[in-house]
Amino acid sequence: MFVINKGVSRFKFLIYVLPVIVLISLIIYVPFIMSMAYSFTEWNGISREAKFIGLENFKNIFVNDSSFQSSAVFTMRYSVLFIIIINVLALLLAVMLDKKLYSTNILRAGFFIPYILSLVIVGFIWRFIFMQGFNALGEITGWNVFSWSWLGDAKLAFWSILIVSIWQSIGLYIVIYIAGLQSIPHELLEASIVDGAGKIKRFFSVTFPLLMPSVTTCVFLALTNSIKVFDVIVSLTGGGPGGATVSITYDIYKEAFQNNFYGYGTAKALLLFVAILVITLVQVTFFKSKEVEV
Number of DSSP helices (H) and strands (E) in the chain, helices first:
15, 2
- What is the model's pTM? 0.88
- CB contact set of 197 (below 8 Å; sequence gap of 6+): 205, 206
| Contact call for residues 119 and 232 (beta carbons, < 8 A) | yes
Which residues does 44 contact at the CB level (< 8 Å), separation at least 6? 260, 261, 262
Q: Are the C-beta atoms of residues 172 and 221 closer than 8 Å to each other?
A: yes
Predicted pLDDT at 120: 86
Per-residue pLDDT at 1 exceeds 60: no
How far is the CA of 118 from the CAs of 121, 130, 238, in angstroms? 5, 18, 16
The predicted-structure confidence for 2-14, as pLDDT tens digits, reads as follows 445 666 678 888 8
pLDDT in tens, 233-248: 999 999 988 889 999 9
Nearest CA among 215, 216, 212 for reference residue 280 = 216
Q: Which of 160, 157, 128 is nearest to 240 (CA)?
A: 157
Q: What is the three-class DSSP state of 170?
A: helix
Tens-digit pLDDT profile for residues 116-166: 988 888 989 999 999 888 888 888 888 888 888 899 898 999 999 999 999
Residue type, 44: N
pLDDT at 288 over 90: no
User: Is residue 291 within 8 Å of 212, Cβ to Cβ?
Assistant: yes
Helix (H) or strand (E) holding 51: strand 51-52
Specify the length of the chain in residues: 294
Cis peptide before 241 (omega within 30 of 0): yes
Q: Is 270 helix (H, G, I), strand (E, B) or coil?
A: helix
In the chain, what are the domain boundaries? 65-289
Q: Which class is 65-289 in CATH?
A: mainly alpha
